[in-house]
């Protein structure tokens, strides 16, 4: 029996997916990419899951990169296929209809930073380091790093991280807009789960609408994005959650959202 490269557990409506290869610093090989694809598909289709938290096993790494031992023998065609495999999985995470939080507990380098960037929020330990060091291997980012980093942090930061290949600490990553929050290492799990619980209690259809609008707007012109937002805004008026939320506000009570 082959051990799974992931650990999956639930805390109420929050699903925790942990890359579980601590002896390899949670490096991404083909089997791990496939397992992540399956795990996120299952979470997307499970009505009991409202939020996903993604992290890495052990104290050292979120994900330290792609598995170099597996990559070193690849042919050009196999290299392209490996890149596309990772891109498909990460695009599935990015377009999830439920919020995904990367809990960055250590090194997030190369494929690890690419995996974190496809999540919707990134909470980092103050001891974490992130970077795109592929240049040091004679490579370039292959799982979307050049594209998502450009959209998150801009051209200057993307060129700095990709051309120089040196990691930056969590504080610098926050300054560049790569991570949302930096917290003390001892508080990382508690603080991340607090945010996850807040999202899990929010209106699920509104969460999905926000994620859809941001994904669509990030790849379209302003007029198209505004039109899409208006359409999504209008759809919210067909939901029970919108009636509950507005009524609760007027009644000065906490809303109880049902996802309908």
Please pick, among 70, 114, 160, 244, the residue that the annotation labels catalytic.
114
Please, how many CA atoms are within 13 Å of residue 28, restricted to the half-sphere of its CB? 29
What DSSP string describes 109-139?
Answer: ETHHHHHHHTSSEEEEETT-EEE-GGGGGT-
User: Could you confirm whether 187 is annotated as catalytic?
Assistant: no
Cα 80 off chain centre by: 23
User: Could you confirm whether 229 is annotated as catalytic?
Assistant: no
Please pick, among 70, 94, 134, 244, the residue that the annotation labels catalytic.
134
Sign of the four-CA dihedral 108, 113, 119, 121: positive
- 3-state secondary structure at position 221: coil
Q: How far apart are CA 4 and CA 17, in angstroms?
A: 12
Q: How far apart are CA 101 and CA 103, in angstroms?
A: 6
* Angle subtended by helix axes 30-45 and 76-94, to nearest 10: 20
Catalytic positions are: 114, 134
């Amino acid at each position: 029996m082959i051990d799974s490269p992931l650990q999956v557990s639930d805390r109420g409506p929050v699903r925790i997916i942990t890359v579980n290869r601590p002896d390899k610093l949670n490096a991404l090989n083909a089997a791990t990419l496939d397992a992540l694809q399956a795990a996120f598909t299952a979470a997307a289709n499970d009505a009991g899951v409202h939020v996903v938290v993604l992290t890495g096993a052990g104290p050292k790494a979120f994900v330290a990169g792609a598995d170099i031992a597996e990559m070193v023998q690849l042919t050009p065609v196999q290299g392209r296929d490996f890149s596309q495999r990772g891109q498909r999985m990460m695009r599935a995470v990015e377009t999830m209809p439920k919020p995904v939080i990367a809990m960055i507990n250590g090194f997030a380098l190369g494929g690890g930073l690419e995996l974190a960037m496809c999540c919707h929020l990134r909470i980092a330990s103050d001891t974490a380091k992130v970077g795109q060091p592929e240049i040091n291997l004679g490579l370039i980012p292959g799982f979307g790093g050049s594209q998502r980093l450009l959209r998150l942090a801009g051209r200057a930061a993307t060129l700095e991280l990709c051309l120089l290949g040196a990691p930056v600490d969590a504080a610098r990553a926050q300054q560049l807009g790569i991570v949302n929050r930096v917290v003390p290492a001892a508080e990382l799990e508690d603080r991340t789960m607090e945010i996850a619980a807040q999202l899990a209690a929010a209106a699920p259809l509104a969460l999905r609408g926000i994620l859809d609008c941001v994904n669509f707007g990030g790849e379209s012109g302003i007029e198209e994005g505004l039109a899409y937002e208006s359409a999504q805004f209008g759809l919210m008026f067909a939901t029970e959650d919108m009636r509950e939320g507005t009524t609760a506000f007027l009644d000065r009570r906490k809303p109880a959202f049902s996802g309908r």
